[in-house]
Amino acid sequence: MSGIDAAKRRLRRELLDMRSRLTGDDAREAAAVLAGRALLLPEVAGARTVAAYVSVGGEPGTGALLEELRRRGTRVLLPVLLPDDDLDWAEYEGPDSLAEVGRAGRLTLREPSGPRLGPEAVTGADVVLLPGLAADRAGTRLGRGGGSYDRVLARLAAAGAEPALLVLLHDHELLAEVPAEPHDRPVHVVLTPSGAHRVRGRG
């Protein structure tokens, strides 16, 4: 294991421990504030298609944002985890269209039950919301380590797609520095309840 890998693992453990201490009220409050802030971003307000995700565990809640985007007529794509940890996509059609999917050793996920659109569907999104555990002001995002969104970002690059990349975090998860590897692709905006933190030179 490289020094960067070890540093990422340590940081993930610390951040997941902090998230485990958050209350349901913390999550609901963050969800409402983040939805409002996200919808004020010109990238999101003007998007025809947004690739998002359903929050789990201590992640900042995305439910309010998904519903408001749908209400505004924005097409929302949500991920479906494949056996090899890649992501397929399906359209969000409201909370009742989500099904709970449990996988051994993982958090229970809520996934869209509609027709699968294929992994390439994400390349048509104007905005991609990325889950994360932390990010820094250079836009380096720390994920959970499964590699699903590394594949998404690689797929976008291979297709020449250039959507706005946003990561949603709690305020304490915006750090001075996140360990980075050459393949890590920076995001354009780190969105926390305290505001939108744009990466210099990236939007």
pLDDT band at 146 (very low <50, low <70, confident <90, very high): confident
198 annotated binding-site participant: no
37 annotated binding-site participant: no
pLDDT beyond 50 at 175: yes
Q: Which candidate, 100, 39, 102, places its Cα nearest to that of 73? A: 39
Say what the pLDDT of residue 200 is.
66
pLDDT tens digits along 152-174: 999 999 999 999 999 999 999 99
173 annotated binding-site participant: no
Q: Which two tokens stand for residue 22?
A: 């958050």
147 annotated binding-site participant: yes
59 annotated binding-site participant: yes
User: Which run of H or of E encompasses 59?
Assistant: none
How many other β-carbons are positioned within 10 Å of the β-carbon of residue 17? 10
How many other β-carbons are positioned within 10 Å of the β-carbon of residue 99? 11
Q: Which of 6-20, 75-89, 189-203 has the highest mean pLDDT?
A: 75-89
148 annotated binding-site participant: yes
Say what the pLDDT of residue 126 is.
98
How many other β-carbons are positioned within 10 Å of the β-carbon of residue 44? 26
Lowest mean pLDDT, pick from 14-28, 84-98, 148-162: 14-28
Q: Which candidate, 51, 1, 12, 15, places its Cα nearest to that of 170? A: 15
185 annotated binding-site participant: no
Q: Taking a C-beta distance cutoff of 8 angstroms, is the pair 173, 187 a contact? A: no
Average pLDDT (176-197) is 91
Average pLDDT (130-136) is 96
Which of residues 74 and 22 earns the better pLDDT score? 74
133 annotated binding-site participant: no
Q: Which residues on neighbouring strands pair with residue 117, listed in sequence order?
A: none
pTM, entire model: 0.92
End-to-end CA distance of the chain: 34
Share of the chain above pLDDT 70, in %: 95
DSSP 187: P
Amino acid at 71: R
Distance CA 16, CA 194 (A): 20
Of 3.40.50.2300, 3.40.50.10420, 3.40.50.2000, 3.40.50.720, the CATH number of 3-198 is 3.40.50.10420
Average pLDDT (42-57) is 95
Q: Which residues on neighbouring strands pair with residue 122, listed in sequence order?
A: none
9 annotated binding-site participant: yes
- Whole-Å CA distances, 187 to 105, 141, 163: 28, 7, 10
Say what the pLDDT of residue 166 is.
97
73 annotated binding-site participant: no
93 annotated binding-site participant: no
137 annotated binding-site participant: no
195 annotated binding-site participant: no
Q: Which candidate, 121, 81, 87, 120, places its Cα nearest to that of 100? A: 81
pLDDT beyond 90 at 145: no
pLDDT band at 203 (very low <50, low <70, confident <90, very high): very low
28 annotated binding-site participant: no
169 annotated binding-site participant: no
92 annotated binding-site participant: no
- Whole-Å CA distances, 18 to 8, 61, 106, 118, 172: 15, 16, 18, 35, 9
